[in-house]
Structure 1
Amino acid sequence: MLTAILTGFLFSILLVFLGRFVKGKFSLIPSIIPLGLFIYFAQFIGEISEGKTIIRNYEWIPSFGVNLTFTLDGLALLFCLMITGIGFLVFAYTSAYLKTHKFLDRFYGYLSAFMAAMLGLVLSDNLISLFVFWELTSISSFFLIGFNNTNEASRKSALTALGITGIGGLLLLAGALILGNISGTYSITEMMQNPSVITGSEYYILAVALIFGAAFTKSAQFPFHFWLPGAMKAPTPVSTYLHSATMVKAGIYLLLRLTPVLGGESFWNTSLIIVGGITMLYSAVHTIFRTDLKGILAYSTISALGILVFLIGLGTEASLLAAAVFILVHALYKATLFLITGAIDLGTKTRDVTKLRGLRKVMLPVAIAGFLAALSNAGIPSSIGFIGKDLIYEGTLHFENSVVLLTALALITNVFISYAGYVAGIKPFFGKLPEEYKETTYPNFFIWFPPVLLGSLGILFGLFPVLIEGALIKPIVASLNLPTEEIHLKLWHGFTPILALSALTIGSGVAMYFLLKPSQKLERFINSLEFISPKNILEQFNSLFEKFSSFWTNTFQNGYLRNYVSTIIVFLVVLVSWTLLQNTTYKIDYASFSKLTIYEGIVLGIMFFAIIFTVFTKSRLAAVAAMGVIGYSICLLFVFYSAPDLAMTQFAIDTLTVILFVLVLYRLPKYLVLSDYKNRIRDGILSIAFGGLISILALEVLAQPVNEEISEFYAKNAYLEAHGKNVVNVILVDFRGADTMVEISVLAIAAIGVFGLLKLRLKSTERGQR
C-alpha cells in the first residue's frame, strides 16, 4: 500500500523533469497511473467482502507512537476505488479538456500529488500520519484551485480554501494529540477496541469539538461552506475530482471512521444533526438563486455533504447504511454533472443556464450523460439515487426523536437538490438551440465518455444493486462495527410510507423545475443579502484585523532598532522583576563572597571610567575604543578567577568586534551629535534597570543550592564519549552541537544581511525614504 501511495508522489516529481512528454498527443499517458491503482485496489474486493481487513505497518517514529500503518477495510476500499476510479476518468478527461494548455504537465503533477495524499488519508490508521496526509490534500488542492494563477479571483479562492482547510488541519492535530493522550495510542483500530476510555474522559467534549472543526471546514459545513463555491474558479477537472468525489468527503470519512470511537454520545449526535441539518437546507435553498452551472452544483454539493453529516449524526444502523450508500450515489451523479458542465463550457464558452438550451442537437452523448445523472440525482426509480433516497427516509423515520421534523427537513432538502439536478443535467439540452450555438464543435471522445460511463453506472447499480451490496456496502457497514445480516438493497420495498415520501420528492422536484426558472433577478436578490453571509462577516473581521495589525506594526515595528530594543528591555525588566518579587525564596549570604582584591578594584575602576567615557563621548571611534577597554577588562577578571579559556575567547571576540565596528563606522561622520537629552536619559534609566536586574539574577543564582549532578556528568563523560579534555568546548561542540550549529547559522545569516546592507545602492528617489 505504501508503494501505491508513493506512486502518485513519485510521478508528480518525475513530471518536473519529463513534463514535456505528457503534452499534446501523449497527454493521455498519465491516466495509466490512476487506472493501475484502481486495478490494484479492486483486487481486494473479494477479501474485503469476506470480512477481512488488510493491514500494512511501516515503522516511522515508534518512540512517539507514530507509524505508517495502513488499514484497508470496507470504508477505506470504497474511498480508494472512488479516488482512483473517478481519478482515472478525470485524468482522461483532462487529456482533452486541457490538451493545449502550456502547463498541462504541472496540472497533472498537482493532480497526482492530490490523489496520493487522499489515498494516504483514507488508508491511515494512525491519527498523526492521517493528519500529515490531510494537510497534503489541502496544499495540493491549493495549487489546483489556483491553477489559473494569472486570474486574481482564482488566487483569492485558493487562498481562502487553504486558509479555511488549513485551520481545520490544526484543529485535527490538536484533537489527535488529545485522543492519543487519553487512550495512550494514536491507532484508530486500538481506540475502537475500548472506546469507553475516550467517551468517559473529561476531555471528550474538547477532543470531539476539535475533530468537528476539522471535518466541518474540510467538508464545507455551515458556516465554513463559502470556500467551496469560491473554489469553482478552478478548471472543471478540479471541481469534478476534489469537490464532488474526494477532498470534500475527507471530513465525512473522518466522521465515519471515528464514529465507533466517539459516536453514541449526545454531544456527538446532537451537534452533527444540527450542523448537518442547517447546512443541507441552507445550501439546497441557495441552488434556486444561482444561474452559473458550477454555482448550482457547488451549493447542491454542500447540501449533499450536509445530508451525510446529518445521517452520521442520527447514528442509527439505518442512517449509517444510508450514508454509506449515499457517498457512492453522490460521487457518481455529481462527478457526471461537473463533467458535462465542463463540456458545455468548453463548447459554448458560457455556463449561464438562462442562456443554455437545445444543446442535445450538437452534443448528444453529453446530453445523455446529463439525463442519466439527473435521474440518479432526483432519485427516480431504476437509478441508484432512488435507493439512496429511500434509505435516507428510512433513517429519519427510524430515529427515536423528532421524526416528523427530521423527515420534513430531509424531504425539503431532497426536493431542492432534485430541482438543481434537473436544471444542471436537463435544462441546457432541451428546447430550441440558439443560433450562436449551432456551430458548436462535437465533443472529443474523452470529453463525453467519462460522464456517460459514470451516469450509466448510476443506472446499472440501481437496476442491479446486488453488484455493490456485498462488494462495497456491507463491508462499509461492517467497518463501523454494525451488523450486516439484514442489509438487502433493492428497488421495490412495497407500498410503504417511504415510497410515498420518494414519490412526493420526485413530484415536487418536477413541479419546481417547470414552475421556477433560474433568473438574474433571483441571483441579484440573493446577492443583495450578501452582507449577512458568513463569508462577508469573515471578510469584515479580516478587514478589522488587518487595520489592527497595521496600527500595531506602525506603532511597535516602526523601523527604528532602538525602539525595538527598548521595548524588549522594558518587557523583560517588568516581567522578570514581578516574577522575582513573587517567587524569591533564597536569602543571599554576602559573607560567603570572596573579598575584593586591589587588582579587581583597579580593573573595576577602569571599566567604570570606560563606561562613562563611552556614554558621554561625541566621537564614534572613541566610543568603540572605550568599549574595547571594557571587554579587555572583563578578560582580566576571567584570568583572576582561573578561567583562561574564557579570557582568550573574550579577548578574541572583543578584538574582532572592535575591528568590525571600525570598518562599519568608517564611512559615517567622525563625530556624533546627540541633541535629544530626553532620549539619552530614557536610555540611561533602561540600561541601569536592566543591568541591575541581571545583577540581582546573578545573586539569586548564587544563593540557590548547588546541584552538581550535571557538572559531574559532563566531567566524567567529556573525555570518554567526546575525547576532549576541555569540558566547555566538548559541551559546545558535542553535547550541544545542534544548538551551536543553529547559532552559527544565525550568525552567518546576519552576516549576509549586513553585507547586503553594506553593498546596497539606493536610487536617488529612494534615498530620502526610510
Structure 2
Amino acid sequence: MLPFVGALFAPLLTRVMKHNAGWVLAAVPLLVFVHFAGMLGIVGSGATVSAGFDWAPSLGLRFSWYLDGLSLTFALLISGIGILIVIYSGGYLKGHPHQGRFFSFILLFMGAMLGLVVSDSFLMLFVYWELTSITSFLLIGFDHGREASRRAALQALLVTGLGGLSLLGGLLVISQATGVNELSSLLAAGDALRNSPLYLVALILVLGGAFTKSAQFPFHFWLPNAMEAPTPVSAYLHSATMVKAGVYLVMRLNPAMGDTAAWETILPMFGGVTLAVGTLLAVRQTDLKLMLAYTTVASLGLLVMLTGFGSDKAIEAAALYLIAHSMFKGALFMVAGLIDHETGTRDITGLRGLRKAMPVTFVAAMLAALSMGGLPLFFGFLAKEEIYAALGAPEGWQAALLVVAICGNALMFAIGFAVALRPFVGAAAKAPKAAHEGPMSLWLGPVVLGASGLAAALVSPIIHRFFSSPTASAVAGSPVDVTISTIPHLGVPLLLSGLTVALGVAAYLGLDRLRGAMVGVLKTIGWGPDQGFDQALRGLLRLATGLTRVIHNGRLDIYMTVTFIAVAAALLLPMMLFDELPSIPSIPEFRFYEWGVLAIAVIGVAAVVHARSRLTAIVSLGIQGFAVALLYMLFGAPDLSFTQFMVETLSVVILALVMTRLRLAPTDHRPFGQKLVDMAIAGACGAGFALLLLKVTQLPFDDRLSQFFNTYSKTIAHGRNVVNVIIVDFRGLDTLGEIAVVMVTGLAILALVRIRSKKVEVRATVAEEA
C-alpha cells in the first residue's frame, strides 16, 4: 500500500521540493525494499509467508498475499530498481511541468506490480494485473501531445487489456476445475488441474494473458512501440517489471500446470520464435531504445522457453537469467536515456566518441554489456552457462531450441556492445547538443545496476542462497539447489558459451551489413503484426459503424417496435416453453360500482384507440390510471390511490408538454396494415403482463414479509400505519429516490415551459423590431 500513498502525495511534494523531489520520493521504494528484505531469511530457509483477510466470505473471496522465493525476488527487484528509477526520473524530467504527475504514475505502477507478484487470491491477482495495464497506459502516453505516444499507449492498453480478459477467463476455469480461489491452494492441489478435462481450456486462456503481457510473438509489437514513453518508463516497465508479469505468471503456475505435453510444447515453441524474432528485429534498429526493446522481447521469449522446457536445469537457468536481465537491461536503458538527455539523439549512426565527455556513463554501459554478453565474472555469465547446461544435450526437435538460443544470445551480445561501446569510441561525432556527463541522479542507477551484475556473480553463493535457489524451487515446485559459480568449468556449456561469444563478436563487427540485410528482408515481407493491429482497428470501426447504421437508424417507431416485441417475447415464451401458463379464473360477481370502474377503464381504452389527435389520445390514456386509482380506493388503500392519481396526472401533463414541442403530425397516418401489426404487439404485451400477474397470484403466498412489517412497524419505527412505515422507514432510501425522480421531472417540465416562453419572447422582439 505504501507506493499508493506515495503516489497520492507525489505532486504536492514535487511542488514543494522542486528538483530534489526524486531523492525524497525514493524513500518510498526504499522502505518497501527494506520491508521485503527482512523476509529473506525466512524465505531463504524454504518457508513461505502468507496472510490476508476475508473480502466476501459468502463468495469465498479473500484479499490475501503469498510470499515464496519467486514472489519475494520479484518484489525486491521491483522495489530495488524502483529506488534508482525514481531518482533517475528526478534528473531526467528536471523542470518538466508535469513531473509531479509522472512521479504519481510511476509509484502507482510500482504498487500495482508489487500487488500482482504477492497476490494469493485469484481476484486480487486479476485486479492488480489490470491495474498494471492502466498505469502503464498512463506512463506510455505521458507525453500525450504527441500522436505516436497516444497510439503506443492505446495499443499497449488494448493488447494487454484483452490478455487480461483472457486471464480472467482462465482463472475462472481453474476455479471451476479445482474448487480453489487462491494460488497457494492451487499449488498444493497437486495434479488436480492437470487431470481435469478443463486443463487445456484453462491453459490456453492463461497463456493468452501471459503472452500478451510479456510480448510473446505474435503480440510482441506493442512493447517496442511503447518506447515512445520517457526513458524511465522504458527502463522500469519494459525491462525489469511489467513485461515480466507474464513470465511471472507462467513461472508461478508451472508446478500446477507444467509437466504436460501441451505445456512443454506451447511454451518452448512460442518462446523460441519470440527469441528469434526479437533479436533479428533488434539488428534492424538504429535507435538505442528500440535496439534494447527488441532484445527485451527476445529475452522474454528465452525466459518463457526455459520455463516450458521442463527440467530443473532449465528452471535454474530461468531464475538466474531473470535476475541478470533485470540488472543489465535496466542499466542499459538508463544509459540510452542518459545519452539522449545529454546529446539530444539516440540514433547510433550519429553517436561517436562520447567516452571522454561521459566517462562514468561509459563505465556503467560496459559493465551492463559485459553481463548481457555473458562474459566471465558477471552474473549474465552464470545465467548463460546454466542455459547451455539445460539445453546442451537436446533430443529430437529440442535441438532447434539450442540453435535458437545460441544464435539469439550471439545477436544479443552484438546489440549489447553496440549500445554500450559504439557511442563512446572513435572520433567524436557532431550531436544536436554538446555532450557532457549527466548529474548524479542520472548516472547513479546505471552504475549501481551495472556493478550489481559484477558483485552478484562474485558473491554468487550468497545470491544463490537467498535468491536463485528459492526462486528456482518455487518455479519447480520442489527444492532446487543452484550451485553454479563464476569459475568456468570445462564442458559443453563452456564450449557453447565460447561459440556464442565468437558469433557475437562477428555479428558486432558486421552489424551494419546485418542491418542492411534485415531491412531488405522486412521490405520483402512487408506486412507485420503492428500493421495488422491498425488494420484490425480500422475493420472493427467499420463493422461498428455498419452495425450502428442497421441497429440505430434514427427511427423511433422501429426502436419502440423492437423493444415491445422483446418485452412480449420475454413474458410469453418462458411460460409457454416451460408450461407455466396460469389457469384462467372464472369471472367473479362484481358489485355495481365495481362494474362502473371496469366500464371506466374500457371506455378509456376505446377513447385512446379511436382518438383522432395525439393530444386526445394522451388525455384519454390517463383514464386507465384513474380507474386503477379508484380500485385502490375501493379496496382500502387510500395512500396508493392518492399516489396513483398524482402520478397519472403528472404523466399526462409531461406527455402533453413534450408532444406540443415535437414536430409531429396532429393525427396518426399509419396504414391499416401497420396498425394491425402494432395492435398485435400491444395485445401480446398486455396478455403477457396479465398472464404473469395471474400466475403470481396463483402461487402460494409467502407472508414472512407481512409478518415482519406487522411485528416491527410499531416496535422499531414507532408507527401504526404499516404502509407509511414501510415507505418512510424501511424503504426510506427508495422513497428518497422516488422524490428525486419527481423533482427532476418537475425541473424538466419547468425547462420545457421556459424554452417555449423564451422562443415566444424572441419572436415578439423580432416582430417589434421589424
Question: Is residue 2:215 matched to residue 1:220?
Answer: yes
2:309 corresponds to which of 290, 309, 314: 314
- Provide the rounded CA distance (Å) in 2 between the counterparts of 1:726 and 1:169: 54
Q: Secondary structure at the match of 1:196?
A: coil
Q: Secondary structure at the match of 1:58?
A: strand
Partner residue in 2 for 1:768: none
- Alignment CA distance shift 1:257-1:27 (3 Å): closer
Task: Show the 5 A alignment for 1:376-391.
Answer: 376-391=371-386
Question: Is residue 2:42 matched to residue 1:50?
Answer: no
Moved more, 681-690 or 208-217: 681-690
Q: Secondary structure at the match of 1:360?
A: coil
Shift of 1:409: 1.9
Preserved contact between residue 221 and residue 305 of structure 1 (Cα < 8 Å)? yes
Question: Is residue 2:712 matched to residue 1:717?
Answer: no
Shift of 1:647: 2.8
Structure 2 letter corresponding to 1:177: L
Shift of 1:184: 2.8
Q: C-alpha offsets along residues 488-507 of structure 1, whole Å, 9 cap, x if unaligned? A: 12133522111111111111
Structure 1 letter corresponding to 2:131: L
Preserved contact between residue 178 and residue 193 of structure 2 (Cα < 8 Å)? yes
1:673 corresponds to which of 636, 657, 666: 666
Shift of 1:239: 0.5
- Provide the rounded CA distance (Å) in 2 between the counterparts of 1:489 and 1:703: 77
Structure 2 letter corresponding to 1:65: G
- Alignment CA distance shift 1:476-1:696 (3 Å): closer
- Alignment CA distance shift 1:746-1:353 (3 Å): farther
- Alignment CA distance shift 1:436-1:305 (3 Å): closer
Question: Is residue 2:293 matched to residue 1:298?
Answer: yes
Q: C-alpha offsets along residues 272-327 of structure 1, whole Å, 9 cap, x if unaligned? A: 12221221111121111112111111111111111111111112111111111111
- Provide the rounded CA distance (Å) in 2 between the counterparts of 1:65 and 1:650: 45
Q: Secondary structure at the match of 2:91?
A: helix
Shift of 1:402: 3.0
Partner residue in 2 for 1:162: 157
Preserved contact between residue 357 and residue 427 of structure 1 (Cα < 8 Å)? yes
- Alignment CA distance shift 1:207-1:749 (3 Å): farther
Q: Secondary structure at the match of 2:51?
A: strand
Q: Secondary structure at the match of 2:5?
A: helix
Preserved contact between residue 568 and residue 688 of structure 2 (Cα < 8 Å)? no
Preserved contact between residue 458 and residue 486 of structure 2 (Cα < 8 Å)? yes
Partner residue in 1 for 2:438: 443
1:517 corresponds to which of 500, 505, 512: 512
Structure 2 letter corresponding to 1:717: F
Question: Is residue 2:333 matched to residue 1:338?
Answer: yes
2:452 corresponds to which of 454, 457, 477: 457
1:647 corresponds to which of 641, 646, 663: 641
Question: Is residue 2:227 matched to residue 1:235?
Answer: no
Q: Secondary structure at the match of 1:266?
A: coil
User: For structure 1, which runs of at least 5 residues remain unmatched after alignment?
Assistant: 1-5, 765-770
- Alignment CA distance shift 1:638-1:750 (3 Å): closer
Partner residue in 2 for 1:350: 345
TM-score, normalised via structure 1 length? 0.90
Shift of 1:445: 1.4
- Provide the rounded CA distance (Å) in 2 between the counterparts of 1:579 and 1:295: 59
Q: How many residues align?
A: 754
Structure 1 letter corresponding to 2:690: A
Moved more, 249-258 or 434-443: 434-443
- Alignment CA distance shift 1:22-1:412 (3 Å): same
Preserved contact between residue 275 and residue 300 of structure 2 (Cα < 8 Å)? yes
- Provide the rounded CA distance (Å) in 2 between the counterparts of 1:530 and 1:612: 73
User: For structure 2, which runs of at least 5 residues remain unmatched after alignment?
Assistant: 760-770
Structure 1 letter corresponding to 2:711: L
Structure 2 letter corresponding to 1:11: G
Structure 1 letter corresponding to 2:705: Y
Task: Show the 5 A alignment for 1:179-218.
Answer: 179-218=174-213
Moved more, 178-187 or 280-289: 178-187
Shift of 1:99: 0.9
- Provide the rounded CA distance (Å) in 1 between the counterparts of 2:747 and 2:332: 55
- Provide the rounded CA distance (Å) in 2 between the counterparts of 1:369 and 1:90: 15
Preserved contact between residue 255 and residue 312 of structure 1 (Cα < 8 Å)? yes
2:262 corresponds to which of 267, 286, 295: 267
- Alignment CA distance shift 1:341-1:175 (3 Å): same
Shift of 1:733: 7.0
- Provide the rounded CA distance (Å) in 2 between the counterparts of 1:740 and 1:608: 32
1:480 corresponds to which of 466, 475, 484: 475
Shift of 1:104: 0.6
Moved more, 649-658 or 328-337: 649-658
Structure 2 letter corresponding to 1:263: G
- Provide the rounded CA distance (Å) in 2 between the counterparts of 1:751 and 1:395: 77
Partner residue in 2 for 1:84: 79
Moved more, 333-342 or 447-456: 447-456
Preserved contact between residue 589 and residue 703 of structure 1 (Cα < 8 Å)? no
Preserved contact between residue 47 and residue 68 of structure 2 (Cα < 8 Å)? yes
- Provide the rounded CA distance (Å) in 1 between the counterparts of 2:161 and 2:741: 29
- Provide the rounded CA distance (Å) in 1 between the counterparts of 2:749 and 2:497: 74
Structure 2 letter corresponding to 1:631: G
Task: Show the 5 A alignment for 1:748-767.
Answer: none
Partner residue in 1 for 2:694: 702
Q: Secondary structure at the match of 1:480?
A: helix
- Provide the rounded CA distance (Å) in 2 between the counterparts of 1:164 and 1:757: 47
Partner residue in 2 for 1:626: 620
Preserved contact between residue 69 and residue 125 of structure 1 (Cα < 8 Å)? yes
Structure 2 letter corresponding to 1:447: L
Structure 2 letter corresponding to 1:690: A
Shift of 1:519: 8.6
- Alignment CA distance shift 1:683-1:154 (3 Å): farther
Task: Show the 5 A alignment for 1:297-696.
Answer: 297-397=292-392, 402-436=397-431, 439-480=434-475, 482=477, 484=479, 486-517=481-512, 525=520, 528=523, 532-574=527-569, 576-584=571-579, 586=581, 588-591=583-586, 593-595=587-589, 599-617=593-611, 619-640=613-634, 643-665=637-659, 672-674=665-667, 676-678=669-671, 682=674, 685-696=677-688
- Alignment CA distance shift 1:570-1:62 (3 Å): closer
Structure 2 letter corresponding to 1:76: S
Moved more, 680-689 or 287-296: 680-689
Preserved contact between residue 55 and residue 70 of structure 1 (Cα < 8 Å)? yes
- Provide the rounded CA distance (Å) in 2 between the counterparts of 1:752 and 1:103: 42
Preserved contact between residue 410 and residue 501 of structure 2 (Cα < 8 Å)? yes
Shift of 1:75: 1.1
Partner residue in 2 for 1:767: none
- Alignment CA distance shift 1:526-1:553 (3 Å): farther
- Alignment CA distance shift 1:77-1:546 (3 Å): same
Shift of 1:244: 0.4
Preserved contact between residue 322 and residue 392 of structure 1 (Cα < 8 Å)? yes
Shift of 1:521: 5.3
Structure 2 letter corresponding to 1:452: V
Partner residue in 1 for 2:112: 117
Moved more, 610-619 or 347-356: 610-619
Moved more, 365-374 or 393-402: 393-402
Shift of 1:663: 4.3
- Alignment CA distance shift 1:577-1:71 (3 Å): closer
- Provide the rounded CA distance (Å) in 2 between the counterparts of 1:325 and 1:162: 30
Instruction: Give the % identical residues.
Output: 35
- Provide the rounded CA distance (Å) in 1 between the counterparts of 2:373 and 2:23: 33
Partner residue in 1 for 2:34: 39
Structure 1 letter corresponding to 2:588: S
Q: Secondary structure at the match of 2:624?
A: helix
